[in-house]
Structure 1
Amino acid sequence: MVISPPWGAQVPVGARVRMAFRRVRESLSGLALRAAESAPAQPARETLADADAALVTAADGVPLHVDVDGDPGAPVTVVLCHGYLADNNFWHFQRASLACHARVVTYDHRGHGRSAVGGLDGLNLDQLGNDLAAVLDQAVPEGPIVLVGHSMGGMAVMALAEQRPELFGDRVVGVGLVTTAAAPVNGRAVLPPEAANLVLAAIDRLRLTSVSCRALRNAALAVARGCAFASRVPPSVVDFVLQLTRSNPVHALVALIPEFLTLDKRAALPVLGNVATLVIGADHDVTIPPEHSAAIAREVPGARLAMIPNAGHMVPLEHPAIVDELLHQLVALATAPRVHPA
């Protein structure tokens, strides 16, 4: 991992990250409180009917927005988990494609899209795993499930596998991990340390006024534009990626950065060997290098690795037809009758 001064060299990495972000969390706490106070009333805990959109209540009471597509009587439900800076509209192509043969559930992670933020203490990968469990319990109360996670969404899937291994092989019959990682992501791939120091200083000095929020968001969008794709895509697709982030609160996004620098979900990987697992990598991914996908595939017994050429981090938007076909293959494999040895 690459971390530059002034975070020091004698303190463990996790402690350095926590110290660096402590002042940020303190300065953001007021904004988080106001966001929580303005969130919609918490719905009662109940399973979802076949409505197109609804709310799921996380274990700590945070409302999470959920959309349901496809045939409610389909034999399998595919749950799509989006990544950092996005919302469930990220899966635009895959939702339409998979809904032809499956019930498709998509949701917004807390602090993203139409889901509430909650407290900053809840903005961590373990909580995202808990949130995914709530989505499964309330939106998919029965039947086989295939989980697909992109980037941070894949990390949430691995967090769930670590927390609830009994689900994998019974309720969860397949997993797709798209351009994600199980081990710490190099700091330069998430945010260059020089830029991180500048961002931290700006947040501290500007105290996240509306002007600084717009400036920081615009800077993040410029970085995202350069990191999302490895090939030529239509301008409308680039604009779509930029639009995905514009409703996301900056303070929530900043609070999640340490999670990627200290990530370690490798203990969850053997659990995924109990189900059909597909790992999709992108050979020109500069956000999460393809070596992470290869490492996951090596550690999950029986996993299949599909490395897509000429592709960047946002491969489901860059090469939707390829990703759609791979996910259809995963669903077919995951739901095929199991052959038990005599």
Structure 2
Amino acid sequence: MGSTRRWVLGSLGGAVGLAAAGTAVGLLRQERAISRVAGADVPFGSLRSDPLTVIADDGVPLHVEVDEAEPSQPLEGRRRRGPGRWSRASEAPPTVVFVHGYCLNLDCWHFQRAAYRGLVRAVYYDQRSHGRSGRSDREHATIDQLGRDLRQVLDETVPDGPVVLVGHSMGGMSVISFAQQFPDLIGTKVIGVGLIATTAGGLDPSRILMPLLPSRLTGRLTHRAVAALSRGHALVDAARRVGRVVATVATNGFAFGGDVPPSYVTFVDDMLAETPFEVVADFFPSFRGFDAFDSLEVLDHVPVSIICGTADRLTSVGHSRKLHARVPASRLLELEGAGHMVPLERHDQVNAELDQLITAATTRASAR
């Protein structure tokens, strides 16, 4: 599996350009014998921690899970003011917050969760109307609201200390929306950002329909057709179940760029199938209206890693290249032949880049 890397180094210079094996997190993963296939022997959906509920500003309950770091990790060791309290954000080890994509849930971070469990403090949550979180009304099924939800999750789960945000697909849009609405937190609270297979606008929403509908219902669907289908969402859901074999084939073609184990395809297809079509329709209009490219300059205050597959059929590689152009100090990792579900398909390379991001963010924050 080849890859194309485009690195733009900021004030950290060559230190940021070290191979992942040379970073603090990467070294620790090697020392603990966490290999490039961490999580391969763990059933999908089985990685869990005690759940907690964060209430969004409109009252929707969000399902959240926090994996705490084990003692004696290299990113800890600064003095605390009390349980969970640090004297300054730059003195605390970062919490990494993972934000999943459209019609998925927190389980989609399986290989990242397996690789980082116990090494860094990590927060995973189901976005509104997804997974085990509560249902949103249609009025609040927007990218702007998802940015506010992320702010609420941070307030509740990381009241002190720095944060690295990592978002995939719609989760990346949530991160960008957060940065757009709360720019004062970028460089203070948020010390690093990872954007995976995502965009800040200009997305053609019709691209995302194929793996979510039986083939006979895709055709020339428009926003009006999606709205009409949403009124009969129960019938659409029934058709999706009946046409599961066709849907699985579509999931494979649209989610992955190359051959992957069948369990990967089934795993993604299960998450898609568990998302009611009414939820698909609720969020659908928000994608076309989302445009935050002009707000990306704020991200140049922190290390940013942009990761994409060159065979992504949902958020094409051009979106990531445009993000990189708008955030000049960012790093762009293009994974040749990989598709939209790159955190699964190329999890080893994605994790290596996240090693770099966490280390760069921590180093820069400590140098302030």
Alignment of 1:298-337 (within 5 A): 298-337=325-364
Match of 2:37 in 1: none
Q: State the secondary structure of the residue aligned to 1:197.
A: coil
8 Å CA contact 1:281–1:294 kept in 2: the answer is no
Which stretch shifts more, 213-222 or 303-312? 213-222
Match of 1:71 in 2: 69
Q: 1:273 matched to which residue of 2?
A: 300
Kindly report which structure 2 residues correspond to 1:189-204, keeping only aligned pairs within 5 A, or say none.
189-191=207-209, 195=219, 197=221, 201=225, 204=228
Distance 1:132 1:339, change over 3 A: closer
2:114 corresponds to 1:96: yes
2:105 — aligned with what?
Answer: 87
| Counterpart pick for 1:226 among 234, 241, 253 | 253
CA contact (8 A) 2:197 2:320 kept: yes
Change (3 A) 1:340 1:301: farther
Matched, 1:154 2:181: no
| SS state at 2:221 partner | helix
**Alpha-carbon distance between aligned partners in 1 of 2:238 and 2:126, rounded to the nearest angstrom:** 22
The equivalent residue for 1:144 is 162
Superposition deviation, residue 190 in structure 1: 2.9
CA distance in 2, matches of 1:148, 1:59: 22
Q: 1:205 and 1:123 mapped to 2: Cα distance?
A: 17
Cα distance per residue 1:14-43 (max 9 Å; x no partner): xxxxxxxxxxxxxxxxxxxxxxxxxxxxxx
Give the match's secondary structure for 1:279: strand
Q: Deviation digits for residues 83-111 of structure 1, max 9, x if unmatched? A: 01100000011012122421010001101
Show the 5 A alignment for 1:226-305. 226-305=253-332
Indicate how the Cα distance of structure 1 residues 169 and 54 shifts in structure 2: closer, same or farther if over 3 A, else same. Answer: same
Conservation of the 8 A alpha-carbon contact between 1:154 and 1:178: yes
Secondary structure at 2:63 match in 1: strand
Q: How many residues align?
A: 291
- Does the CA contact (< 8 Å) of 2:230 and 2:277 recur in 1? no
Give the counterpart letter for 2:59 in structure 1.
Answer: G
Match of 1:127 among 129, 135, 145: 145
Q: 1:220 to 1:266 in 2, by over 3 A?
A: farther
Residue 268 of structure 1 and its aligned partner are, at CA, apart by 2.4
Mapped to 1, the partners of 2:265 and 2:140 lie a distance apart of 30
The Cα shift of 1:200 comes to: 5.4
Distance 1:186 1:201, change over 3 A: closer
Give the Cα–Cα distance (whole angstroms) in 2 for the partners of residues 244 and 194 of structure 1: 19
Deviation for aligned residue 1:197: 2.8
Q: Would you say the 8 A contact 2:63–2:126 is kept in 1?
A: yes
Q: 1:206 to 1:316 in 2, by over 3 A?
A: closer
Q: Which SS does the other structure have where 2:301 is aligned?
A: coil
**d(CA) in 2 for partners of 1:206 and 1:306?**
37
Measured after TM superposition, the shift of residue 124 of structure 1 is: 0.4
Partner of 1:210: 234
Deviation of the 1:72 alpha carbon: 6.7
1:233-284 per-residue CA deviation (whole Å, 9 max, x = no partner) reads 0001111111112332221111211222222011321011111100001111
Q: Which residue of 104, 129, 133 maps to 1:111?
A: 129
Provide the residue aligned with 1:177 in structure 2.
Answer: 195
Deviation at 1:70, TM superposition (A): 3.3
CA 1:253/1:188 → structure 2, altered by over 3 Å: closer, same or farther?
closer
Assess if the C-alpha contact under 8 Å between 1:79 and 1:105 holds in 2.
yes
Q: AA paired with 2:236?
A: S
Rounded Cα–Cα distance in structure 2 between residues aligned with 1:110 and 1:240:
20
CA distance in 2, matches of 1:259, 1:158: 14
Measure the CA separation in 2 of the matches of 1:72 and 1:250: 40
For 2:149, the aligned partner's letter is D
CA contact (8 A) 1:147 1:175 kept: yes
Kindly tell me: are residues 291 and 198 of structure 1, through their superposed partners in 2, closer, same or farther at Cα, counting changes over 3 Å?
Answer: closer
Seen in structure 2, the aligned counterparts of structure 1 residues 208 and 145 have a Cα distance that, compared at 3 Å, is same
Aligned partner of 2:150: which letter? Answer: L
Q: In the TM superposition, what is the alpha-carbon distance from 1:202 to its structure 2 partner?
A: 8.0
Higher relative contact order (CA 8 A, sep 6+): 2
Q: Are the structure 2 counterparts of residues 194 and 244 from structure 1 closer, same or farther at C-alpha, using a change threshold of 3 Å?
A: closer
Where 1:224 maps in the other structure, the secondary structure is helix
Contact between 2:338 and 2:346, CA under 8 Å: does it hold in 1? yes
TM-score (norm 2): 0.73
Distance 1:215 1:273, change over 3 A: same
CA contact (8 A) 1:111 1:253 kept: no
Give the direction of change, closer, same or farther, for the CA distance of 1:156–1:221 in structure 2 (3 Å limit).
farther
The answer to whether the Cα contact below 8 Å between 1:93 and 1:317 also exists between their aligned partners in 2 is yes
CA change 1:202–1:175 in 2 (3 A) is closer
CA RMSD after TM alignment:
2.4
Distance across 1 between alignment mates of 2:172 and 2:166: 7
* Unpaired segments ≥5 residues, structure 1: 1-50
Structure-2 change in CA distance of 1:205 and 1:61 (3 Å): closer
1-side partners of 2:102 and 2:235: how far apart? Answer: 23
